[in-house]
Structure formats: C-alpha cells, structure tokens
Amino acid sequence: MTDADVIAEFRAAEALLEGHFILSSGLRSPRYLQCARVLMDPARGARLAEALVARLPAELRASIAAVISPAMGGVIAGHEMGRALGVPAMFLERPEGVFELRRGFRIEPGTKVLMMEDVVTTGLSSREAIAAIARVGGETVAAAALVDRSSGTADLGVPFFPLIRLDVPTYAADALPPELAAIPAIKPGSRAA
C-alpha cells in the first residue's frame, strides 16, 4: 500500500478533515486525520493493519507476543494489529491519570510488545504507554502507528514504524497564522471536552 493508497482510504472514509483543530497535545493544526472514522469500517481497518504489518521487518514481526495500545484512540488500531500479527491485543487506560493495564489484562515478565497508536504527534502518549508496559514487566520492542504527524521528530525510545508520515503544520495557540486564527477551533480527538 502506497502513501497515496493510505490517503485514499482516509478520504474515502471522510476522515481527512480541514479546518482549525486542537490536537490532544494542545497544538493547533489546519488538517486532522480522524482515525476513528477510517477504522469504523472493519475491512478498511484490516487493510491498513495488514499493510503496516507488511512494513515491519520479519524478525521483528516474529518476536512480537502482544500488542498494547493506549485508550482511546489506539484501541481499534491495536486490535487490528493484534489480529494481523496473530497475537493478543490489549489496551491501557488512565483511570487516575497514568496509563495502566486493567480489565484483567496482564502479560508475563519479558513479554515482547508492539505498542500501537493511531496517530503520533509529539510522542508523549506513546512514551507514557511504553513506560506503563515496562511497569508491568513488558519489553516494548517497537512502536507503530497508522499516522506519524511529527514530521519524523517523535523520539519514542524504540524503533517506530508508521504506516504513513504526514507533514502537517502545527502551531502553539499563541502563534497561529492569521488564516487559522480566523476560524473557530474544534477539539475532535479522544481528549475532547
């Protein structure tokens, strides 16, 4: 699957949005990829996950024993990656503000884990998820995401494999270009109020 094919999947799902968006990182952007919309079609989600799995090195794929994702955005993406890899998929939650495994999810110490996100912008949630995996004894051998919006700058501390990298500008709220400042801001992500 080429980058153009991936973008076509987002467009077909009406998941590539234009406007003024407040990202979960607090940054602002004129474009937003709503992964929940692209993943609402199970066949599309399967295609995207299978394409991403195909990009992982064979030795890495063979070593992964579980996929763990941060809730909320990574739940479906992680499930699809688990299915495509043939391994269990679990998710982390923040009931007290810090990621943790709940709902009876557990891994054995030393379990090799792929941490799966929907979108990475700054990498903060990914790093927090990787830290939570370490706290329960897992070894995050790699991270993956459907979309890397960081322009390749997110350092997750492990090899990172996005399905697509998009260079979409982001701005601090007090440094908006005039055309973006003129549009009302909306917060479409999982941390929306």
Read off the pLDDT of residues 81-98 as tens digits, 9 standing for 90 and up: 999 999 999 999 998 989
Query: What is the residue-averaged pLDDT of the chain?
Result: 91
> How would residue 176 be classed by pLDDT, with cut points 50, 70 and 90?
very high
Across the range 114-138, mean pLDDT stands at 94
Is the previous residue joined to 90 through a cis bond, with omega within 30 degrees of 0?
no
Smallest Cα–Cα separation from 146: which of 80, 77, 93, 88? 77
**Rounded Cα distance, 5 and 24, in Å:** 26
* Greater pLDDT, 190 or 40: 40
DSSP class of 95: T
Inform me whether the pLDDT recorded for 40 exceeds 70: yes
Inform me whether the pLDDT recorded for 112 exceeds 70: yes
Judge residue 110's burial from the number of C-beta atoms within 10 Å of its C-beta, 0-12 exposed, 13-18 middle, 19 or more buried: exposed
Residues 93/71, Cβ–Cβ less than 8 Å: yes
Inform me whether the pLDDT recorded for 154 exceeds 70: yes
Residues 82/89, Cβ–Cβ less than 8 Å: yes
- The pLDDT value recorded for residue 190 is 53
pTM (predicted TM-score): 0.85
Quick one: which H or E segment has residue 84?
A: helix 74-85
Residues 66/105, Cβ–Cβ less than 8 Å: no
> How would residue 27 be classed by pLDDT, with cut points 50, 70 and 90?
confident
